[in-house]
Amino acid sequence: MPASTRGRKREDLIYVAASELVMYGFKTFDITSVPGITTSDVTALGHIKAEGMAADSTKVYVLRANAPKPPRVSKKSSNQSTGTGTGTTGTPPLTVSTFCAYNKISDAMAAKWTIAKRGRGITFRGEGSSTRQRTVAIPIGGGFYCFSCDRATFATYGSALGLKGTLTETEAKKAFMGASAPKPGTAKAITTTGSVSSMYDPTKKGDLAASEAGWSLTEAILLMAAPTP
């Protein structure tokens, strides 16, 4: 948030489309409280307020994901004054910066918003990549939480942890990374050669807890603020 609009209380949970099926949630203030920013701007940006929103059961709702991430746009308010008196330059306009739905960029630019930062998609490193880490996925919240996993961990414990090494084309459209919610819990265990730690599929909790491996588990973080259909 630019210095010109810092200090405003961010109480509104807003969703914008980060991709075809992933809705990106973030907290912000009512941008229409800034002179020159109207409800038409909100519509142009594709902002949907979570409160009272009818959820689309075909979409995945996430909070503050690293990817996919929608583009960020900015616009100056219209509260600039000319000022009076020698040396007085007047009140400078505020700069409002916020997220824009990935499919609303043309509408935003038509409403005089400027692209400040482009959106970000997911990079999925599969079995064929040359890196030590590979991308794996866990079903959660109607989508698939993706993260980097050591290849040895995946090979040895992937099945017990419920890790998916591949996604179908349909599943990939519901994939996301680094969200604060929903987010799987972690499983840790001591092994004969050291220790192992990874996120795990919530449906595997009972099996892991009963396992002789002695897994120590943390709970998944679910999207408590998710809109209901």
pLDDT tens digit sequence for 77-88: 876 544 444 444
Question: In one letter, which amino acid is 48?
Answer: I
Tokens 């709970």 identify what position?
Answer: 219
Whole-angstrom distance, CA of residue 68 vs CA of residue 120? 5
Question: In one letter, which amino acid is 159?
Answer: S
Considering the entire predicted model, what is its pTM? 0.87
Whole-angstrom distance, CA of residue 126 vs CA of residue 172? 13
The stretches in the chain having pLDDT less than 50 are 1-4, 81-88, 225-229
* Predicted local distance difference test score (pLDDT) of residue 8: 67
DSSP 19: S
pLDDT tens digit sequence for 152-172: 999 999 999 999 999 999 999
* Predicted local distance difference test score (pLDDT) of residue 9: 72
